[in-house]
Amino acid sequence: MRIAMIGTGYVGLVSGVCFSDFGHDVVCVDKDAGKIARLERGEVPIFEPGLDTLLAKNVEAGRLSFTLDLAEALKGTEAVFIAVGTPTRRGDGHADLTYVMAAAREIAETAKGPLTIVTKSTVPVGTNREVAEAVREVNPDLDFDVASNPEFLREGAALDDFMRPDRVVVGVESARAADVMAEIYRPLFLRDFPIVTTDLESAEMIKYAANAFLATKITFINEIAALCEKTGADVREVAKGMGLDGRIGNKFLHAGPGYGGSCFPKDTSALARIGQDFASPMTITETVIEVNERVKRRMIEKLRDLCDGSFNGKKIAVLGVTFKPNTDDMRDAPSLTIVPALIGGGADVHAVDPEGQREGEALLPHVVWEADAYSACKGADLVVILTEWNEFRALDLDRIASCMATAKMADLRNIYDAERASAAGFGAYVSVGRRPFP
């Protein structure tokens, strides 16, 4: 099947590349000439493990191409995906649908039909119907259907999530659109991955409900972690004991410095707004948003305590600034709250991140960037692990402790433990939801 993908951001590019790997002919469209030129040269603008190889393979096989020209992309196309950004609108927390609606109108102006217009961008309930109305308004003669097909990709594991999904969610109103979507996902269907085919509104809601639930789960364990610290319990043991209950499950129960990223903060805030708009308050989600902010601030206080009450004049090594490992994404990363607080308090921050430095340089002024953890820690008064990159999981703790001015560690991802830190010569070790040392 010939597919057009509008938007070569994270979701559009991963989906386009993976669909072409399924065997479909995919044309990816973007308005950004620089981006299209880079993609045509085989350069991938984002960091996602395996994406460059899969892209090159499918370009070479003649199944994947890139263009600035929507008309060319729509030629002979049975399905067009809208995968443009839906950022949080400044001021009110709503998802900004400007790009989605603009893409819908452009499709209507250009398409000859018959066509299925699929929204992959995360959009509030009711948007697919609005897309259909906008298309009908611009081009009343176009023979088209709409479909909602939210994505559940995790950055850093996106290819695997696409190829081996827990489920594919498809919202449709007509049998024809259902057939088109089934044909697109047939390779997964044949491998028995479940496809949930439902109505438009339910599909749109599934995405928000799933992300808000996961954000709630993380926030719940983060709040339990704070209580563990007060009571002497160990949050990792608690999470293990809870997670073995099949009704709860062990995933997304890792306590840390708060969730970040391109989805959870944006989607929880959009869901809260949708609830307000429909006079059906999303009280739990609203609280999750508030508690997640509190979690980040709690981390700052933890670090301040380790610095004897003041960051002033302290040299602090920060390991990891991206919101999670295996991505260069800094959107809503806890580092964006924590690092400025350190610098604002007078600390000299030396940071290291395997992929985040480029973005970090723009977003975190006054940080000194180092090549590795050891150079960042030289002469430092405190080392803070903010992102659990693999290269920070097996550090030579003796070497780190011996090169620091005062060997103190804040392990905000619970990678190490007090015994190991103490044995390596650290004078103080704190983590999240576990007993500190000394």
- List the catalytic residues: 263
Distance from first CA to last CA of the chain, Å, rounded?
Answer: 63
Contact 402, 379 (CB under 8 A): no
Residue 8 CB, nearest distance to ligand UDX (Å)? Answer: 18
Residue 322 CB, nearest distance to ligand UDX (Å)? Answer: 9
Span from 24-32, 74-82, 84-92, 251-259 in contact with ligand UDX (CB under 6 A): 251-259
Site for ligand UDX contains 154 (CB under 6 A): yes
What tokens does 36 get? 């299209």
Binders of ligand UDX in range 206-225 (CB under 6 A): 211, 214, 218
In this chain, which of 101, 181, 206, 263 binds ligand UDX, going by CB under 6 A? 263
Contact 402, 244 (CB under 8 A): no
In this chain, which of 24, 63, 120, 254 binds ligand UDX, going by CB under 6 A? 254
Task: Rank residues 26 and 214 by Cβ distance to ligand UDX and give the closer one.
Answer: 214
E-assigned strand segments in 209-281 = none
Of 135, 78, 133, nearest to 106 by C-alpha is 135
Residue 288 CB, nearest distance to ligand UDX (Å)? Answer: 12
Of 296, 297, 384, nearest to 347 by C-alpha is 384
Site for ligand UDX contains 63 (CB under 6 A): no
x/- contact string, 287-326, with ligand UDX (CB under 6 A)?
------------------------------------xx--
Of 96, 122, 94, 151, nearest to 272 by C-alpha is 94
Q: How far apart are CA 127 and CA 129, in angstroms?
A: 5
Helix or strand run (H / E) with residue 304: helix 283-306
Task: Rank residues 1 and 284 by Cβ distance to ligand UDX and give the closer one.
Answer: 284
How far is residue 154 CA from its own chain's centroid? 6
Site for ligand UDX contains 85 (CB under 6 A): no
Task: Rank residues 262 and 337 by Cβ distance to ligand UDX and give the closer one.
Answer: 262
Who contacts 195 (Cβ-Cβ below 8 Å, separation ≥6)? 167, 168, 169, 170, 182, 185, 188, 189
Number of residues that bind ligand UDX (CB under 6 A): 20
Site for ligand UDX contains 152 (CB under 6 A): yes
Span from 185-193, 228-236, 249-257, 428-436 in contact with ligand UDX (CB under 6 A): 249-257
What proportions of the chain, in percent to the nearest 5, are helix, strand and coil?
45, 15, 40
Site for ligand UDX contains 151 (CB under 6 A): yes
Task: Rank residues 324 and 408 by Cβ distance to ligand UDX and give the closer one.
Answer: 324
Q: How far apart are CA 245 and CA 225, in angstroms?
A: 19
Task: Rank residues 275 and 433 by Cβ distance to ligand UDX and give the closer one.
Answer: 433
According to DSSP, residue 75 is labeled: T
Contact 8, 28 (CB under 8 A): yes
In this chain, which of 16, 256, 275, 433 binds ligand UDX, going by CB under 6 A? 256
In this chain, which of 252, 340, 354, 374 binds ligand UDX, going by CB under 6 A? 252
Task: Rank residues 82 and 218 by Cβ distance to ligand UDX and give the closer one.
Answer: 218
Helix boundaries (H) for 164-263: 175-184, 186-190, 200-231, 235-243
What tokens does 30 get? 């973007």
Task: Rank residues 110 and 211 by Cβ distance to ligand UDX and give the closer one.
Answer: 211
Q: From the CB of residue 237, how many other CB atoms can be counted at a distance below 10 Å?
A: 12
What tokens does 79 get? 């399905």
According to DSSP, residue 434 is labeled: S
Residue 176 CB, nearest distance to ligand UDX (Å)? Answer: 27
Task: Rank residues 14 and 421 by Cβ distance to ligand UDX and give the closer one.
Answer: 14
Q: Which residues of 332-342 are buried (b: 16+ CB within 10 A; e: fewer)?
A: bbbbbbbbbbb
Residue 342 CB, nearest distance to ligand UDX (Å)? Answer: 19
Q: How far apart are CA 47 and CA 49, in angstroms?
A: 7
Binders of ligand UDX in range 334-393 (CB under 6 A): none
Site for ligand UDX contains 155 (CB under 6 A): yes
Q: Which chain residues interact with ligand UDX by CB under 6 A?
A: 151-155, 211, 214, 218, 252-254, 256, 259-264, 323-324
